[in-house]
Structure 1
Amino acid sequence: MPTATFRSAFVPHDLDAPVTGAPAGPLAGLTVAVKDMYDIAGAPTGGGSPDWLAAHPPAATHAAVVAKLLAAGATIMGKTVCDEFFFSVTGANAHYGTPVNPRAAGRMPGGSSAGSASAAASGTCDVAIGSDTGGSVRIPAAFCGLYGLRPTHGRIDMTGAMAMAPSFDVGGWMAATPGVFRAVGPVLLGGRAVPTGIDKAIVLDDAFAEADPDIAALLRQAIAAMADRLPPIVPGAIAPDGFDPWREAFRIVQGREVWQVYGGFIESRQPRLGPGVRDRMAFAATVSEEDAAEAYAVKRRAAEWIEGVAQPGTVLVLPTAPCIAPMTDASGEGLESFRVRVMRLTCIAGMGGLPQLTVPVGTIAGCPVGLSFIGWAGGDEALLDLAVRLAPFMGAVG
């Protein structure tokens, strides 16, 4: 385990010692790294912001996710770096630095669950806990060559976790191996499961058109290789008017809700905000009630449409990200373009509140590439089973 990778993945205010779980359970013997948004009793929670960290006392109790992991026998080994207030998908944090991407030297790990992905990809932990609002599990999992799940909205108990935009926020996790990845599901997933087999896979041609040509070609090659392990594959599309109306509505709703959560703190405490995050918070402060109402209406219509396509038994197949991980020294303008492109893809599951699995199918220029499957509401377990079924093909192309 490279020392630099270990140090870059974990926050300076990390745990004094690992927190050991129950002596037996489905996760006994496994180590878990936890994004610094989940409370761990006796430890501070910072959400990527030193000023938020300084303004709040250590947690009195464990977050629900942490308590469930410990009860299942896991050992919590540390708290990981995340993007400031979770408001980015790059993994760069102006205060704590950018966690190393162990699978793509010199490139960003993806965010906002950056340290968690870095820890899992380096072998520092068996399981990494993150959260996903606009891609914060899916993108770092794809960029770091991991399995990752954004669950159905509401299926993970977020008590004791910092919020971002509650209409979209979900917990999630990543792992390097499919068996361990699958084992976390029964521990963390609550709510209503809708168990059924997968009988159709719709390849979203409009989503593939958003990806770089080499990404799209590699992923279509992977789909062809997996054909015997997949249900009947049919072409299709998901966004009748293109992705930008959904992406913009997502941006407005997210901005409105982020400001509702953190606006008071930002106005009263004037925390230091890093580049990009500062601009997005400034935008969030301007979102009016009228703008938000219109965006919520778009969100409702989009959810109805997306759920109408992703019926029980159907999965939607798409690139997890439109490109490989950006270089760590990418320009601000380049990163903003990257963010827009990413959100066109990640907003689908976000707007629909649906589960999305990403799997590490191969590489381009030595950089991991992820393929995604969006399932139906409550179809999380079917996606986890699919990850195990497709495991023999992972990393086989590129």
Structure 2
Amino acid sequence: MTESSLPFFRPPAEPYGAFCQDNHVAVAATAPGPLSGLSFAIKDVFDVAGSRTGFGHPRWLATHGPAAETAAAVSTLLDAGADLVGRTISDELCYSIAGENLHYGTPVNPQAPDRIPGGSSSGSAVAVAGGIVDFAIGTDCGGSVRVPAGYCGLYGIRPTHGRIPLDGVARFAPRFDTVGWFARDPEVLRRVGEVLFGAGRRGGFTRLVIADDAFARCDAGIQPVLAGALSRLGALFTERASADLSPEGLDQWLDTFRILQAGEIWQSLGGWIEAERPEFGVGVGQRFAAAAETAPADVDAARARAEEIAEGLAARISEGDLVVLPTTPGPAPLRTTSSSEVETDYRRRAMEILCVAGIGRLPQVTLPVGTVDGAPVGLSILARRGKDMDLLDIAARAGFGVPVPPERR
């Protein structure tokens, strides 16, 4: 199927700037199934046969032809009855958690228009938060689903690493890359999980574990909202505990994550960047420049250290543990905040929390638990590898409600 023969010829008309205009793609469900009646969007990193993937950059779009095959995750959703209605904006080559794109602009956060939407799966989050689609898929390497879910007041999941195939997804940092998704309704989030994960054993949780070192990195302004959410979650458990996730410090873990991620990103994209010399925005360009200078020996050492950390997390988090941590240190920064400030201080504080799931290959679900100064606040739940559906079950049981799209208020 080619772009011109698709059943929906134009991106959805919407006021948020969430959808790609130059490489729009839409496909009707290929069969009835458990997702019949639901619409979805895909981040601009997923291949659809006959259309071009842009990876958030016009130069990538110009230098890559139509895909021969559709990404495995997209095919699974179409086969389950969902209708694909469009492709969404991504940060440039996914190397940002801000949601800003020098070339295509910054999608408007429907729940807090004066604040950034978060990235790099910015358009997917905005399309869901704005009520344009029922759910949307993105990718999460360092936080690219969890951050925009938190900023836009959505439910979002980063699955266990390797749980969902990455066939037909733009390669970034394979040690950390995952396919995730967003929904306003936790039941929809769970229904999508049942399709993408398939049948599997569910064991539930017996103990709530509060990650003290992650909460210590939060802004004071969101602490009351998080405390209320913790009380609600705690009511589901008879056993509670508190512990630090990182014995040596989350800042040390972030350094390991950053070096390994940079090395893998440059291995994936360095050849194309050197050949094409594309223009990048503030922060993104600096990170690629730093990635180019990362020594292979440092990457090897970071890889070994990451495996040690992952083994330690697997030993400390038991089968029955539900770990609770903030999604980000605070609500989304204002759109008027300088890009340099967002990309330096705030990014590092956020990544110290976000790197845990990536290094540990662990599943993490973001829950919309309230607002501060009109901006959404997210709380996350994390568990052992393979406990993805258990997390989605808890998300549905916790009763945090369904965010209402702006036009329906």
Task: Report the TM-score, using the length of structure 2 for normalisation.
Answer: 0.93
1:352 paired to 2:363: no
- Who is 2:314 aligned against? 307
Does the 8 Å contact 1:216/1:319 carry over to 2?
no
Query: Which structure 2 residue ranges, 5 or more long, are not aligned?
Result: 1-11, 404-409
- Who is 1:4 aligned against? 15
Give the counterpart letter for 1:4 in structure 2.
Answer: P
Give the counterpart letter for 1:374 in structure 2.
Answer: L
Query: How far apart are 1:392 and its partner, in Å?
Result: 4.7
Query: How far apart are 1:340 and its partner, in Å?
Result: 0.2
Give the counterpart letter for 1:262 in structure 2.
Answer: L
Query: How far apart are 1:241 and its partner, in Å?
Result: 1.2
Within 5 Å, which residues of 2 pair with 1:45-56?
45-56=53-64
Counterpart CA distance in 1 for 2:168 and 2:152 is 27
Query: How far apart are 1:301 and its partner, in Å?
Result: 1.5
Match of 2:390 among 354, 376, 382: 382
Between 61-70 and 194-203, the greater mean CA deviation after superposition: 194-203
1:216 paired to 2:240: no
- Who is 2:94 aligned against? 86
Does the 8 Å contact 2:367/2:400 carry over to 1?
no
Counterpart CA distance in 1 for 2:181 and 2:394 is 16
1:93-112 Cα shifts (integer Å, max 9, x gaps): 00000011000111110000
- Tell me, what secondary structure is at the counterpart of 1:33? strand
Match of 2:332 among 313, 317, 325: 325
Give the counterpart letter for 2:211 in structure 1.
Answer: L
Query: How far apart are 1:299 and its partner, in Å?
Result: 0.6
Counterpart CA distance in 2 for 1:194 and 1:376 is 14
Match of 1:99 among 101, 107, 117: 107
Counterpart CA distance in 2 for 1:311 and 1:394 is 30
Does the 8 Å contact 1:194/1:377 carry over to 2?
no
Match of 2:247 among 217, 240, 248: 240
Query: How far apart are 1:230 and its partner, in Å?
Result: 3.8
Query: How far apart are 1:3 and its partner, in Å?
Result: 3.1
- The 1:96/1:203 distance shift into structure 2, 3 A limit, reads same
- Kindly, what percent of the aligned residue pairs are identical? 45
1:216-248 Cα shifts (integer Å, max 9, x gaps): 232112111333224522111111111111101
Match of 2:284 among 265, 277, 289: 277
Give the counterpart letter for 2:340 in structure 1.
Answer: E
- Tell me, what secondary structure is at the counterpart of 2:324? strand
1:14-69 Cα shifts (integer Å, max 9, x gaps): 435x3101341010010001000000111110110110110010112110011001
Counterpart CA distance in 2 for 1:29 and 1:263 is 41
Within 5 Å, which residues of 2 pair with 1:30-179?
30-179=38-187
Counterpart CA distance in 1 for 2:340 and 2:58 is 26
Counterpart CA distance in 2 for 1:14 and 1:80 is 10
Does the 8 Å contact 2:14/2:132 carry over to 1?
no
Counterpart CA distance in 2 for 1:349 and 1:163 is 19
- Tell me, what secondary structure is at the counterpart of 1:359? strand
- Tell me, what secondary structure is at the counterpart of 1:9? coil
Counterpart CA distance in 2 for 1:193 and 1:270 is 46
Within 5 Å, which residues of 2 pair with 1:245-260?
245-260=252-267
1:364 paired to 2:372: yes
Match of 2:295 among 288, 292, 302: 288
- Tell me, what secondary structure is at the counterpart of 2:252? helix
1:328-385 Cα shifts (integer Å, max 9, x gaps): 2211331111110110000011100000011001000011101101111000010010
1:169-211 Cα shifts (integer Å, max 9, x gaps): 0000000011111100121126x95631201110011110001
Counterpart CA distance in 2 for 1:167 and 1:392 is 32
- Who is 2:4 aligned against? none
- Tell me, what secondary structure is at the counterpart of 1:13? coil
- Tell me, what secondary structure is at the counterpart of 2:15? helix
- Who is 1:207 aligned against? 214
Counterpart CA distance in 1 for 2:289 and 2:234 is 47
Give the counterpart letter for 1:3 in structure 2.
Answer: E
Query: How far apart are 1:394 and its partner, in Å?
Result: 6.6
- Who is 2:235 aligned against? 228
1:71-91 Cα shifts (integer Å, max 9, x gaps): 000000000001111000000
Between 135-144 and 383-392, the greater mean CA deviation after superposition: 383-392
- Tell me, what secondary structure is at the counterpart of 1:357? strand
Query: Which structure 1 residue ranges, 5 or more long, are not aligned?
Result: none
- Tell me, what secondary structure is at the counterpart of 1:229? coil
Give the counterpart letter for 1:103 in structure 2.
Answer: Q
Counterpart CA distance in 1 for 2:361 and 2:400 is 29
Query: How far apart are 1:267 and its partner, in Å?
Result: 0.6
Counterpart CA distance in 1 for 2:219 and 2:238 is 26
Counterpart CA distance in 1 for 2:362 and 2:166 is 17
Counterpart CA distance in 2 for 1:193 and 1:238 is 28
Does the 8 Å contact 2:184/2:402 carry over to 1?
no
Task: Please report the RMSD computed on the Cα atoms of aligned residues, expressed in angstroms.
Answer: 1.6
- Who is 2:8 aligned against? none
- The 1:230/1:370 distance shift into structure 2, 3 A limit, reads farther
Query: How far apart are 1:393 and its partner, in Å?
Result: 5.7
Task: Report the TM-score, using the length of structure 1 for normalisation.
Answer: 0.95
- Tell me, what secondary structure is at the counterpart of 1:362? strand
Give the counterpart letter for 2:327 in structure 1.
Answer: T
Runs of 4+ in 1 over 4 A off after TM superposition: 392-395
1:188 paired to 2:214: no
1:13 paired to 2:19: no
